Amino acid sequence: MATQQMTASSNDKPTKVVNKSFNKNKKSKKTKEELRKERILGIAVSEGLTYGFLATAMVGGGFGFAHYQYPSFRQAKMTSIKVGLPIMAGLFSFALVSELSINDMKRNPGNYNLIININTIYNIFIKL
């Protein structure tokens, strides 16, 4: 039988052999703790992005206002500062808010409904 597979004609298309047991092992079931960590990180990142964009917009708006309002600010050749400071303010507030919300969620999971949501998510993944 092995010789028949090796001596296939040139008109036959090669078949792709898929190891089904290998694909089943990729979908490992997640524990409650892993689901809880993912949920905490998801909430923290979304809060961090919200406040990061808000800080970037506020600082960028301040720089834009100063650029159009004050001619001396406009004439100064500090393009890297005009671009860098709003980005750094957004990055700082993203990191700060994310870390603070992670710490708060780990200390007080009831305030974020993590206990109820994790159990529901866990039941959904178990049924898969």
Q: Are 114 and 33 in contact (CB under 8 A)?
A: no
29 φψ region: left (φ > 0), alpha (ψ -120 to 50), beta (else): beta
Most distant CA atoms of the chain, gap in Å: 85
Residue 1 above 50 pLDDT? no
> Between these two residues, 116 and 76, which has the higher pLDDT value?
76
Long-range contacts of 23-28 (CB under 8 A, 24+ apart): 27/128
Q: What is the percent of the chain with per-residue pLDDT over 90, rounded to a whole number?
A: 38
Q: What is the pLDDT of residues 44-55, one digit of tens each?
A: 999 999 999 999
- Predicted TM-score of the model (pTM): 0.64
> Between these two residues, 120 and 19, which has the higher pLDDT value?
120
Q: What is the pLDDT of residues 55-83, one digit of tens each?
A: 999 999 999 999 899 998 888 878 888 88
